[in-house]
Amino acid sequence: MNKNEFLPTTKEEMKKRGWEELDVVLISGDAYIDSPFMGIAVVGRILESIGLRVGVIGQPDINSDVDVKRLGEPKLFWGVSGGSIDSMVSNYTATKKFRNSDDYTPGGKNNKRPDRATLVYTNLIRRYFKNTVPIVLGGIEASLRRLSHYDYWSNKLRKPILFDTKADYMIYGMGEQAIIDLGNTLRDGGDPKNIRGVCYISKEPVLEYIQIPSHEECLSNKEKYIDLFKVFYDNNDPVYSKGLCQKVDSRYLIQNPPSDYLEEKEMDKIASFPYQRDVHPYHKKDGKVKCLETIKFSIMTHHGCWGECNFCAIAVHQGRTIRTRSEQNIIQEAKDFTKMKDFKGIISDVGGPTANMYGYECKKKLKKGTCVDNYRCVDDKRLCKAMKVDHSRNIQLLKDIREVPGVKKAFVASGVRYDLITADKKHGYDYLKQMVNHHISGQMKVAPEHTDDEVLYHMGKPGKQTLIDFKKMYDKLNKESGKKQFLTYYLIAAHPGCKEKHMHELKQFTTHELKMNPEQAQVFTPTPGTYSAVMYYTEMDPFTKKKIFVEKDIRRKEKQKSIVIDKKYQQRRKSNGASLQS
């Protein structure tokens, strides 16, 4: 591997390497940014590390053959990803309005990522390359659509994405080990259908796998769809998970058991590949790519999250077990930053899906896998006693990063679970003290999402008393430090189970308990791969199958949001003499 080169994206770059053809061509809905935070770059570097010749095409023109043909036909396979963000989430708001900007597109204008990008790119390949080598899907857009799934934007249950795209295989989840196995298997002329972490279509069922409700059954019976989703959700852990088999029309979607998680040394190896941490020159002529400002000098410390918020897809894509990098490897990355000419001493983020899950895990889970039967590490009522929260390793890591010569500031911008801080009686206070004194700038973002117990139950979030306790601790530490730093809150309107009366109660809580007026809240978006989307579609609690209220009218969704951000709320209530709405 050349430490000073991007993966090629033009024929000229291939020729400089002495390559006449490529083994693999990767296509992405993002501009090509060579960064450990960009899935297509990570996949490309992994394949390069096993000796394959890899090229990347970012955001190809879908109306001509110019881009899709510019690297030629690969020898082994095409890899297709919708990008770092689901294309439908990237292109539309929760109220289905088109987004004008795209942080992963040069110049920032949203004019390069098509709707259902994975489907469009696969069709683009098929249009210009007949009888080509296998097309392999990957990335979050495909991963969350690997079985029958509710699609909010068309408001219907869609078939597994392999049936829509007619691609040959899919690698689901993070896919690091699966892409190595796939690359080696295809190079050696083997059968990818035996690889863990792979999905494919079969004419015959795999009888030793779990037989889940067919697509037809899910269409005719919403309870069957709940049954399917529960089995899907509970079979993402490589320690114990079985393969899944779903009948779709006259064929079958086969999901092999998940790939094994990476060990610490493997995490370190992938993080140490020669990423250029920049936008490929091919795209630079079209303008800056905004997301690079955030990720260029950021450090990913771990993968996975066991928070299991019902509206979040991390559990089924990254997994519910934390896999960490070593402290030495992370510190070396910080040191490497200081050698880069445009590094100003500021590390934008040190974290992961949940920053303060670094450095500890449930010993039982590591041995036997995640618990099933709806028993979670943390939910709306409690933290499991088996999960021994311990921020000590994280505290030391942050201290070591601060002491790297040339590092002026290392922020923690990733999400932080405040309930874990209050639960850690030994080190939680010290962790928050470090955050207040060294790792935030003016404000700290937390995500209670709501404060009503009924809504929090449906979200899978902790109760409001934990938030009150955390705020007291945060305010105390800021006072002691002499700093005027604030908390900002992520809030969600119109989640399943949430009525207007709940938003009024949330507004009262933020006014009287938090002493603030929220400036922003987001309307809930039902995304594939989440329990909340199942609730939205079925209008049932998937754990009890009891009917729940779901707001589906866009104007009333917007009204829920407006209640909590209304700056003149108290004045209006007083003048109108209004009572809480049901």
Q: Which residue numbers belong to the known binding site for [4Fe-4S] cluster?
A: 305, 309, 312
Residue 92 tokens read as: 């539309």
Place of tokens 């829920």: 560
Which residue reads 């060294």 in tokens?
A: 438
Report which of 80, 79, 47, 44 is spatially closest to residue 183, judged by C-alpha positions. Answer: 47
156: nearest Cα among 200, 99, 215: 215
Q: Which residues are annotated as a binding site?
A: 305, 309, 312
Helix (H) / strand (E) containing 562 = helix 554-565
What is the 8-class DSSP label of residue 262? P
Rounded Cα distance between 238 and 257, Å, is 7
Please report where in the chains the tokens 């998970």 appear, as a residue.
Answer: 241
Beta bridge partners, 135, equal: 78
CA distance 573 to 567: 12
Q: Phi first, then psi: what are they for 495, rounded to 5°?
A: -70, 150
Check residue 166 and give left, alpha or beta (phi > 0: left; psi -120 to 50: alpha): left
What residues contact residue 266 under an 8 Å CB cut-off, 6+ apart?
A: 176
Secondary structure class of 170 (helix, strand, coil)? strand
- For tokens 């007026």, the residue is 517
Rounded to an integer, what distance in angstroms lies between the CA atom of residue 153 and that of residue 166? 21
For residue 165, give the nearest of 56, 78, 43 by alpha carbon. 78
Question: What 8-state DSSP symbol labels residue 316?
Answer: H
What is the spatial distance between Cα 148 and Cα 528, in angstroms, rounded to a whole number? 10
CA–CA dist 54, 47 (Å, integer): 7
Which among 6, 572, 566, 564 has a CA at the least distance from the CA of 277?
Answer: 6
What's the token pair of residue 169? Answer: 């295989």
One-letter amino acid for residue 355 of the chain: A
Furthest CA-CA distance within the chain: 78
